[in-house]
């Protein structure tokens, strides 16, 4: 028998080899992101740690606790920036979470289809607006209004930062809470209605508690977005050279602004200390990511024996 | 109208959009009895059950005609859905405890109806769990998640949760279809025990179950009640040939 079998074809014989090659192509594609993150960490940390060692080392304590940033006086304190970043983020979360959560609940449970058809694209568009446009809006509209009502001279202030950040984190909070609310099984709602609960009671006592892990993840991601935001914030913050913001009317200088504003022309130790600022920011982001992983892994195991 | 009638259903029609799911249903459901609703899938028995506590109100596009009264009061015109549901509790096909502790599950109903005092809640929780014959199994883990107990225990917990709102009627929608035989027997024993104090209406696919525990049985077919009589008559002397064919397993 001399029949030609598909098993004799060259392609068939080579298939195993091809499979291997493709596996490596996929692997190398996947490695690019890992390599990028490692490269960034090595580079930023390497440069950022250097100013604290050696003969002309800058005091790490002065750096981390300092209340003034004045490169011309060789003074590099970032504590007031850390405070500014954290306070602005806190403000944005305090405003953004309730608004975002109520919006998500409204879309998921209450809104008629027609209103949802307007709301969802609007929120998606808000998410897609470039950061600089938020900054322009903040500078053109929010800052002048604040200037009118503020007890201080300038409208550029922590309040302006908080308002811009609130707008920017809303889409994150809304869309993530929305999907966690939508993921609640209908049987929970049936059980609640079956016990004589009203719609509002069902939302607050049954749906939101059941969605809490997802909502928490949304909040943490919102914090990450707010603390890392640069361009828009830089345009409305005022970027003072020292002093912890004590009221919402005070100017502030978030960590991100500091790096973005001066990196272009800084050199020597000044430049390295900007990297150090980046390291501090990086550490905040890593903590946030760690918390996020903890929360989301809990979502999967929700209902297991606690 | 019979004096012991709890629910009285007159000429009930129900439509999902254009589709008529229930046709001219007339039924008198007796107090402190178990009424079983049987019939093939899609015959309308679950739809009928859900109409009794107005859970169908939540479905879009439903129209209901006819009259249902509970103790002589029209449930659509003289009662709101919330107060109706506190009198007519429901146990679902799949055990559906909330993702909270066992205690909070049972206390959910009393809490939404305004009971906040810890000692009162403790008492209701214990009483309801005892009535649902699950107290001994869970009394040491009331703070544990309700999702951590077995399916059969979850279903008895759901019954306890319903009992906690002190209903008069308990609707059960195939309460044992997701359970193993031993858990099923426990639920059946419990239903028989509960009928001393409650009126029970139960949808079931399991004909032996209907025969074992119910007092009255209604046979549904394509949206109509073919026959409604004492369980004994339905299973031993069915008047309608379709009932006989169904209970002897010739179709369905």
Q: Do B92 and A190 touch (CB under 8 A)?
A: yes
- The verdict on A91 and A197 lying in the same domain is yes
Q: Which of B98, B170, B160, B210 is nearest to A190 (CA)?
A: B98
Q: Do B94 and A190 touch (CB under 8 A)?
A: no
Tell me which residues of chain B have a pLDDT lower than 50.
Answer: 1-2
Residues of chain B positioned with their CB less than 8 A from the CB of A206? 98, 108
CB-CB: which of A187, A197, A205 is closest to B96?
A187
Q: Is A300 on the interface with B (CB under 8 A)?
A: no
How many residue pairs from chains A and B have C-beta atoms closer than 8 A?
A: 78
From the centroid of its chain, how far is CA A52?
A: 29
| pLDDT score at A305 | 36
- The verdict on A43 and A152 lying in the same domain is no
Which tokens in the block code for residue A108?
A: 């998921």
Q: Do A192 and B89 touch (CB under 8 A)?
A: no
- The verdict on A292 and A253 lying in the same domain is yes
Query: Which residue carries 């077919």 as its tokens?
Result: B221
| pLDDT score at A302 | 47
- The verdict on A91 and A232 lying in the same domain is yes
> What total number of domains does chain A contain?
2
Which tokens in the block code for residue A233?
A: 């914030």
Interface mutation target, options B75, B112, B161, chain A, most CBs of A under 10 Å: B112
Q: Is A299 on the interface with B (CB under 8 A)?
A: no
Cα separation, B85 vs B169, whole angstroms: 9
Residues of chain A positioned with their CB less than 8 A from the CB of B161? 191, 195
| pLDDT score at A124 | 93
| pLDDT score at A20 | 86
- The verdict on A46 and A155 lying in the same domain is no
Q: Is A185 on the interface with B (CB under 8 A)?
A: yes
Written as one string, the DSSP assignment of chain B is --TTEEEEEEEEEEEETTEEEEEEEEEEEETTSEEEEE-STTSSHHHHHHHHTTGGGGSTTEEEEEEEEETTEETTTSS-HHHHHHHEEEE-SS----SSBHHHHHHHHHHHTT---HHHHHHHHHHHHHHTT-HHHHTT-TTSBGGGS-HHHHHHHHHHHHHTT--SEEEEESTTTTS-HHHHHHHHHHHHHHTTTSEEEEE-S-HHHHHHH-SEEEEEETTEEEEEEEHHHHHHS-SSHHHHHHHTTS--
CB-CB: which of A194, A198, A306 is closest to B89?
A194
Q: Do B165 and A304 touch (CB under 8 A)?
A: no
Question: pLDDT 10s per residue in chain A (306 long)?
Answer: 566 777 777 766 677 778 888 899 999 999 999 999 999 999 999 999 999 998 888 999 999 999 999 998 999 999 999 999 999 999 999 999 999 999 999 999 999 999 999 999 999 999 999 999 999 999 999 999 999 998 988 899 999 999 999 999 999 999 999 999 999 999 999 999 999 999 999 999 999 999 998 999 999 999 999 999 999 999 999 999 888 999 999 999 999 999 999 999 988 899 999 999 999 999 999 999 898 888 877 655 444 333
Q: Is A306 on the interface with B (CB under 8 A)?
A: yes
- The verdict on A44 and A183 lying in the same domain is no
- The verdict on A122 and A43 lying in the same domain is no
- The verdict on A166 and A264 lying in the same domain is yes
Which tokens in the block code for residue B190?
A: 């419990």
CATH no. for residue A256?
1.10.3720.10
| pLDDT score at A303 | 43
- The verdict on A241 and A265 lying in the same domain is yes
Domain holding A18, by residue range, is 3-52
Contacts of A207 (CB under 8 A, 6+ apart): A105, A109, A181, A184, A188, A189
Residues of chain B positioned with their CB less than 8 A from the CB of A194? 53, 55, 85, 89-90, 92, 162
CA distance to partner chain A, nearest, from residue B111 (Å):
10
Query: Pick from A12, A35, A52: which residue ends a domain?
Result: A52
Residues of chain B positioned with their CB less than 8 A from the CB of A196? 82-83, 85-86, 109, 112-113, 165
- The verdict on A190 and A300 lying in the same domain is yes
| pLDDT score at A19 | 84
Which tokens in the block code for residue A5?
A: 């079998």
Q: Is B32 on the interface with A (CB under 8 A)?
A: no
- The verdict on A93 and A26 lying in the same domain is no
Interface mutation target, options B51, B53, B96, chain A, most CBs of A under 10 Å: B96
CB-CB: which of A190, A205, A302 is closest to B112?
A205
Minimum Cα–Cα distance from B82: chain A residue: A196
| pLDDT score at A1 | 54
Residues of chain A positioned with their CB less than 8 A from the CB of B114? none
Residues of chain A positioned with their CB less than 8 A from the CB of B158? 191
Q: Is A18 on the interface with B (CB under 8 A)?
A: no
Q: Do A205 and B111 touch (CB under 8 A)?
A: yes
| pLDDT score at A299 | 57
* Structural contact between residues B219 and B234, judged by C-beta atoms closer than 8 angstroms: yes
* Structural contact between residues B28 and B1, judged by C-beta atoms closer than 8 angstroms: yes
Q: For A22-53, what is each residue's pLDDT tens digit?
A: 899 999 999 999 999 999 999 999 999 999 99
Q: Do B96 and A302 touch (CB under 8 A)?
A: no
- The verdict on A196 and A288 lying in the same domain is yes
């Amino acid at each position: 028998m001399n029949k030609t079998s598909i098993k004799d074809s060259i392609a068939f014989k080579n298939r195993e080899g091809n499979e291997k090659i493709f596996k490596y192509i996929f692997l190398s594609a996947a490695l690019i992101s890992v390599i990028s993150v490692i490269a960034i960490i090595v580079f930023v940390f390497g440069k950022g740690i250097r100013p604290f060692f050696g003969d002309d080392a800058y005091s790490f304590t002065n750096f981390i606790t300092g209340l003034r940033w004045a490169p011309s006086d060789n003074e590099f304190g970032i504590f007031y920036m850390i405070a500014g970043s954290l306070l602005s983020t806190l403000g944005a979360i305090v405003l953004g979470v309730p608004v975002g959560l109520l919006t998500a609940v409204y879309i998921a449970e209450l809104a008629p289809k027609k209103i949802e058809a307007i709301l969802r694209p609007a929120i998606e568009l808000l998410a897609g607006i470039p950061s600089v446009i938020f900054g322009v809006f903040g500078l053109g509209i929010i800052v002048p209004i604040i200037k009118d009502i503020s007890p201080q001279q300038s409208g550029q202030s922590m309040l302006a930062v908080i308002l811009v950040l609130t707008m920017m984190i809303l889409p994150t909070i809304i869309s993530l809470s929305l999907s966690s609310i939508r993921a609640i099984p209908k049987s929970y709602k049936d059980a609640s209605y079956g016990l004589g609960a009203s719609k509002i009671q069902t939302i607050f006592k049954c749906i939101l508690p059941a969605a809490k892990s997802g909502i928490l993840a949304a909040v943490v991601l919102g914090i990450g977005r707010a603390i890392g935001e640069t361009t828009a914030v830089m345009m409305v913050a005022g970027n003072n050279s020292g002093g912890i913001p004590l009221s919402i009317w005070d100017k502030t200088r978030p960590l991100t602004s500091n790096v973005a504003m001066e990196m272009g022309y800084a050199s020597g130790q000044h430049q390295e200390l900007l990297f150090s600022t980046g390291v501090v920011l990086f550490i905040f982001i890593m903590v946030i990511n760690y918390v996020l992983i903890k929360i989301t892994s809990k979502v999967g195991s929700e209902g297991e024996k606690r | 109208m019979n004096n012991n009638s709890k629910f009285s259903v007159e000429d009930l029609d129900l439509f999902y959009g254009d589709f008529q799911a229930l046709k001219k249903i007339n039924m008198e459901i007796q107090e402190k009895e178990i009424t079983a609703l049987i019939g093939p899938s899609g015959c309308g028995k679950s739809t009928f059950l859900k109409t009794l506590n107005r859970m169908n109100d939540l479905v879009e596009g439903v129209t209901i005609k006819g009259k249902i009264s509970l103790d002589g009061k029209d449930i659509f015109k003289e009662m709101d859905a919330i107060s109706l549901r506190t009198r007519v509790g429901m146990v679902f096909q799949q055990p559906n405890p909330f993702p909270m502790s066992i205690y909070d599950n049972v206390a959910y109903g009393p809490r939404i109806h305004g009971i906040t005092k810890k000692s009162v809640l403790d008492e209701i929780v214990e009483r309801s769990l005892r009535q649902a014959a699950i107290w001994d199994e869970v009394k040491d883990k009331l703070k544990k998640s309700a999702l951590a107990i077995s399916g059969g225990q979850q279903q008895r917990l759901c019954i306890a949760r319903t009992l906690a709102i002190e209903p008069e009627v308990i609707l059960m929608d195939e309460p044992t279809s997701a359970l193993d035989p031993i858990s099923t027997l426990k639920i059946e024993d419990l239903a028989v025990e509960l009928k001393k104090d409650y009126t029970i209406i139960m949808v079931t696919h399991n004909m032996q179950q209907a025969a074992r525990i119910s007092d009255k049985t209604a046979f549904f077919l394509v949206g109509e009640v073919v026959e409604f009589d004492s369980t004994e008559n339905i299973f031993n002397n069915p008047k309608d040939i379709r009932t006989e064919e169904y209970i002897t397993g010739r179709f369905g």
